[in-house]
């Protein structure tokens, strides 16, 4: 069913300013990334750029971290040593990262990343005071089989094992079926507002079971085909603390519109 986002109520967003994370994946160039950040102006919402590893030193040096916060898209599950090709949490800290995506569905699907490895990555990041952005979400068949809650619960419990204080953790609810790269055809759709609200409330309830009152500190973002047309409606949901944006973050004009949507 197609959802008309323009008719959704917006404007009186709950929860003050929102966090909008651009997930550039393996796109753009260092030059393009510097121009993008140069053109961004401060907003009441917090812009975070999850850039490829090789862009991070240049973005950090250009002072990007003052106007935006820097995020990596992945981190090693190991602390240091003979792990060819890996980048550690300490190295991310050195180049100014304050956030790092963990467990994105593309890493789970294309790189067979397990919940156990995701947990080890989160523990590494917390050790170096980098906020993990834990991505969780069900695929289309799990959704059809009404397994969404079970999937979310399992992913949360396994990823957060031994995490005593969740205050620095962000959760990105990213239903795989709503991520643009996993959708066929031109008419890509975000999840409906009711799906987003229900999932976020469920995630909150699981976190509360694990952490009690401390769970209130965890920010829960939505990701999956957020664009300038639907951003206001999605970000106005009081359960939604922000958005993780893939495709629409690659163009300055659309990301700029999203961070100014509310
Ligand atoms: C993503 O891959 O994290 C994502 C949210 O992508 P898109 O916005 O393109 O659906």
Tell me which of 179, 184, 254, 258 to substitute to probe ligand 1's pocket, judged by most ligand atoms within 8 Å of the beta carbon: 179
On the 0-12 / 13-18 / 19+ scale of CB atoms within 10 A, 182 is middle
What digits encode the pLDDT tens for the residues 43-99? 899 999 999 999 999 999 998 777 899 999 999 999 999 999 999 999 999 999 999
Cα 245 to ligand 1 centre (Å): 5
Q: Distance (Å, rounded) from C-alpha 117 to C-alpha 107?
A: 11
Q: Is 8 helix (H, G, I), strand (E, B) or coil?
A: coil
Nearest atom of ligand 1 to the alpha carbon of 245: 8
Q: What is the pLDDT of residue 187?
A: 86
Nearest Cα to Cα of residue 180 among 5, 21, 23, 16: 23
Q: Distance (Å, rounded) from C-alpha 78 to C-alpha 73?
A: 16
Q: What is the pLDDT of residue 228?
A: 97
What amino acid positions are annotated as catalytic residues? 104, 174
Nearest Cα to Cα of residue 73 among 118, 27, 104: 104
* Token couple for 121: 């990555």
The neighbouring-strand residues paired with 145 are none
Q: Ligand 1 pocket by C-beta < 6 Å: which residues?
A: 23, 104, 174, 179-181, 223-226, 244-248
Number of helices (H) and strands (E), helices first, in the chain? 11, 8
Q: What is the pTM of this model?
A: 0.94
Q: Distance (Å, rounded) from C-alpha 88 to C-alpha 70?
A: 15
The neighbouring-strand residues paired with 172 are 135, 221
Nearest Cα to Cα of residue 20 among 200, 192, 257, 180: 257
What digits encode the pLDDT tens for the residues 202-256? 999 999 999 999 999 999 999 999 999 999 999 999 999 999 999 999 999 999 9
Cα 82 to ligand 1 centre (Å): 33
């Amino acid at each position: 069913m197609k959802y008309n986002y323009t008719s959704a109520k917006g404007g009186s967003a709950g929860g003050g300013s929102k966090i909008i994370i651009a997930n550039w994946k393996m796109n753009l160039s260092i030059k393009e990334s510097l121009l993008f950040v140069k053109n961004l102006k401060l907003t009441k919402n917090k812009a975070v750029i999850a850039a490829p590893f090789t862009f991070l030193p240049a973005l950090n040096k250009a002072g990007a971290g003052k106007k935006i916060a820097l995020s990596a898209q992945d981190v090693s599950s190991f602390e240091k040593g003979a792990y060819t090709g890996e980048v550690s949490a300490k190295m991310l800290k050195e180049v100014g990262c304050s956030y790092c995506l963990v467990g994105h569905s593309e890493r789970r699907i294309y790189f067979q990343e397990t919940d156990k490895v995701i947990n080890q990555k989160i523990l590494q990041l917390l050790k170096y005071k980098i906020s993990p952005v834990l991505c969780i979400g069900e695929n289309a068949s799990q959704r059809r089989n009404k397994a969404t809650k079970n999937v979310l619960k399992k992913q949360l419990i396994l990823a957060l094992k031994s995490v005593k204080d969740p205050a620095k953790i962000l959760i990105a609810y990213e239903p795989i079926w709503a991520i643009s790269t996993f959708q066929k055809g031109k008419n890509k759709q975000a999840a409906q507002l009711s799906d987003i609200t229900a999932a976020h409330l469920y995630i909150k309830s699981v976190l509360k079971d694990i952490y009690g009152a401390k769970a209130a500190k965890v920010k829960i973002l939505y990701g999956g085909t957020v664009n300038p047309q639907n951003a206001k409606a999605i970000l106005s949901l009081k359960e939604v603390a922000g958005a993780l944006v893939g495709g629409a973050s690659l163009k300055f004009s659309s990301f700029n519109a999203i961070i100014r949507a509310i």
